[in-house]
Structure 1
Amino acid sequence: MNAVIEGAVPELQPPHETGGKEPASNIAQGAWVLYEWANQTYFSLITIFLFPPFFTQVLAANPIEGQAQWGYVQAAAGISIALWSPLLGAMADAAGARKPWIVVTTLICAAGCFALWFAVPGSPLLPVMIALVVAAIGMEFTIIFANAMLPTIASDRRMGLLSGIGIGVGQLAAIVALVLVLILLQLPGEVEASFIPAEPVFGLSKEAHETDRIIGPISGLWFLVFMLPLLILVPDQKSRGIGRAQAAREGLTRLVATLRSVRHFRNVALYLFSRMLFYDGMTAIFVFGGILAAGIFGWGAMEMAVYGIWVTLFAAFGAFVGGWVDLRIGSKRTLVWSLLGVIATFLL
């Protein structure tokens, strides 16, 4: 872990490029990067590649209903996040410190993940859907508060680079998790090799779908463990020492004032609107990509894990390169060239 922390962000902050801010140490920046290592396993295992096919093809009455119910889960989580995020963000700004919020939202996400162990085929689906919504809300709120720490540890010019490194490291974490799931849970009993156990680890049963249900606890435990460096090593803003009620009042006042002032800042309004459309499109791809791949090609967990490894490898490459390009040509130009590349690829 020390090698990752100290080597992930080599000399990111020369003193003359801090933009007037005192940068955090490389160790602190590396600890922030590890927060991406913590969260991407949740997205790869639960949101995209492994749990969605299990949900739609095994837990649901039939794949068609399962796809609709998976959509309801994502819609419920998305609406909740959209309604509460602005207020919670404003409350966090009013209170000052972010880490107390991160601790709470991390535990909420982990609780939802651990609850997925009880997703037994044939049991009521509603508790599983609630657990998925809880995990998604906890994860997204954690990301909001953790991302809010980035401007306090990196200069304006270097934030894009650090963010790109973080996403790339997160994709590598997803690859590691997918490989471990493949070797320890899916390949045993299917492929004979010296590095593959004869049976799934911990005596888990494929027939009882325990190798699928364990995905939730694995993601929750991974998230808890690798959030610790951020909570321990990354400096936080000073707490203003106000209570939750006062933070809520001040946060609501700030939020209303911000919304009223948006009309005077056309670029901000356009950015927020375009960001909403962009994020909706990305979410649709991530949420239903794994389901469609499994449904169309008839892939099981083993094939989906292999597919996820390949997809994530390319995502990691893009993240590392994107952070480097952002440093040299700026965020907007990087985004434009990325979108042109995506469009050109689809036209091939």
Structure 2
Amino acid sequence: MSTGAPSTVHRRGRAVFSWALWDWGSAAFNTVILTFVFTVYLTERVAVDPESGSKALGVALTIAGVCIALVAPVTGQRSDAGGRRKLWLAVHTGLVIVCTAGLFFVQNEPSFLVLGLVLLATASVFAEFATVNYNAMLLQVSTPATIGRISGFGWGMGYFGGLIALVIVLIGFVQPSVGLFGVTAADGLNIRVVALFAAMWFAVFALPLFAFVPEAPSSGEQVRHALLGSYVVLGKRLAWMWREERRTLGFLVASAIYRDGLAAIFTFGGVIAAGTFGFSPSEVVVFAISANLVAGLGAFLGGRADDRFGPKAVIVAALFGLVLVGGLLLVLPPGKAAFWVCGLTLAIFLGPTQSASRTFLARIATPGKEGEVFGLYATTGRAVSFLGPLAFSGFIALFGSQRAGMGGIVLILLVGLIAMLPVRSPDRPPEPTEVPAADAS
């Protein structure tokens, strides 16, 4: 081992931590805005009534999903070829921050609902584009032996970042009658200020990645074709994958289904807590804080289980737990205690499912094609992303109650679990070493 090894390990550790801090920062959008605070505000206080607000939210996110499905793999493909993952991650992160800050102008009147939905949907599109390049960077900060725990560390940081952000939001703005800076609930100001806070939170914690994570090398391909030509390249790539990488395609299809169920839990969890189980806005945030703590611990433990047992075992076990507990939540009496117990149990399985899905794909991705493959990962998920919102809003329309929407979410998770069973596991990683051989030079 050379004397430069400790310095290399230090740089790798700094890069891993900086990479994970982006997840910590992005939680301000995913957790505070998209799941527990602003979507609840839109459906409960801006819309005419929760049912119509929930259906409108589902429609807006379905449209966003279509946009992601059409564009995500091409953006990943072009960033691979040009070696510009960090550049495009910066651009898309900045656009999410701008849209999030724009939510400040959404007052609690029905006439502002469209503005809120447009900004929320647009931010979700660019957040997904950013995540494509962020996920592809996993291989830049890990080794085959540590990819599971580093992915789990990233997801755990995201959950804990969401937890801290929610605590600040709850104590500083949501719960008190007069919050920080004299903010009150008049015109929804206490929630609108939360949007500004979330934008600043994301901006601050995203910065270290751009300073300390090295840029990926170019794949060696020249981006000489126009944007439309990228779809021709993509079509050829898919045809090749059909011939040579059936496992990758099988995983993309299966994960698309169950990840849509996971997304529905995140998107509509706070809405269900408020509309079906009678949680107040403050109680929704308190529950979210507890759920993020439990989910973060689950992600850390799931990452270690991933390196030991493989990602497929983690995914299948976690999906089985989600289906079982989600079914119980559907049939139990709609009391707050039932939601607390079942909701926190669900949270245990969320992080491991997400983290192991990312490592499954990273382990089988063709070197130099990670951005494109994770773009396909986003696209296949969004190609069926209408399933979650449609099942949720459709079941509400069919059965006339918000609670019925949970049945559609559980059904999607079950179908995804069944589709995942025949997908072959990645090869087992090598045993971890103190210093990766590639770095000990």
For Structure 1 versus Structure 2, the TM-score category normalised by the shorter chain is 0.7 to 0.9
**Partner Cα separation in structure 1 for residue 44 and residue 326 of structure 2:** 29
Contact 2:173 2:190 in 1 (8 A): yes
- How many residue pairs are counted as aligned between the two chains? 320
Alignment partners' CA distance in 1, 2:127 and 2:17: 20
Report the equivalent of 2:50: 63
- For 2:188 and 2:327, locate their aligned partners in 1 and report how far apart those are by CA, in whole Å: 40
1:152-191, aligned counterparts within 5 Å?
152-189=140-177
Deviations 1:176-207 (A, max 9, x none): 01111111112324xxxxxxxxx301121212
8 A contact 1:24–1:153 mirrored in 2: no
User: CA–CA distance in 2 between the matches of 1:311 and 1:24?
Assistant: 33
Separation in structure 2 between the aligned mates of residue 341 and residue 241 of structure 1, nearest angstrom: 43
Work out which of the residue numbers 43, 54, 73 in structure 2 matches 1:86: 73
Q: Which residue identity lines up with residue 143 of structure 1 in the other structure?
A: T
- Is 1:96 the counterpart of 2:83? The answer is yes
Q: Secondary structure at the match of 1:58?
A: helix
- 1:318 equivalent to 2:305? Answer no
Offset at residue 328 of structure 1 (A) = 1.0
1: CA distance, partners of 2:11 / 2:139: 10
- Do 1:41 and 1:222's aligned partners in 2 also have CA atoms closer than 8 Å? yes
Unaligned runs of 5+ in 1: 1-13, 16-21, 190-198
* Distance (Å, rounded) in 1 between the aligned partners of 2:68 and 2:51: 26
For the pair 1:49 / 2:36, whether they are aligned, the reply is yes
Report the residue type matching 2:252 in the other structure: L
Equivalence for 2:212: 233
**Unpaired runs of at least 5, structure 2:** 3-8, 329-441
Aligned to 2:425: none
Contact 1:117 1:214 in 2 (8 A): yes
Work out whether residues 174 and 191 of structure 2, in 8 Å CA contact, stay in contact via their aligned partners in 1: no
Which residue of structure 2 aligns with residue 266 of structure 1? 246
The equivalent of 1:28 in structure 2 is 15
Structure 1 residues 243 and 200: CA distance shift in structure 2, 3 A: farther
Q: Structure 1 247/230 Cα, relative in aligned 2: closer, same or farther at 3 Å?
A: farther
Deviations 1:230-281 (A, max 9, x none): 1110001246899976474774453122111122132122111101101111
Alpha-carbon distance, 1:225 to partner = 0.9
Partner of 2:318: 338
Secondary structure of residue in 1 paired with 2:168: helix
Letter in 1 for 2:113: L
For residues 31-90 of structure 1, the C-alpha deviation after alignment (integer angstroms, 9 at most, x for no partner) is 111111011121111111111121011111222210111101211111111111011111
Q: Name the residue aligned to 2:259.
A: 279
Residue 256 in structure 1 maps to residue 235 in structure 2: yes
TM-score normalised to structure 2 length: 0.68
Match of 2:123 in 1: 135
The Cα of 1:124 is off from its aligned counterpart by: 3.4
Residue 202 of structure 1 aligns with which residue? 181
2:283 aligned partner: 303
Coordinate RMSD, CA, aligned: 2.4
2:271 to 278, 291, 302: 291
Check conservation: 1:38, 1:170, Cα contact below 8 A.
yes
- Structure 1 distance, partners of 2:221, 2:205, is 29
2: distance between equivalents of 1:224 and 1:55?
24
SS in 1 for 2:187: coil
The 8 Å contact of residues 24 and 159 in structure 2, kept in 1 or not, is answered as: yes
CA gap of 1:36–1:247, structure 2 versus 1, over 3 A, is: farther
Offset of 1:329 from its aligned partner? 1.0
TM-score normalised by structure 1 residue count: 0.85
Percent of aligned pairs with the same amino acid: 32
- Does residue 329 in structure 1 map to residue 316 in structure 2? no
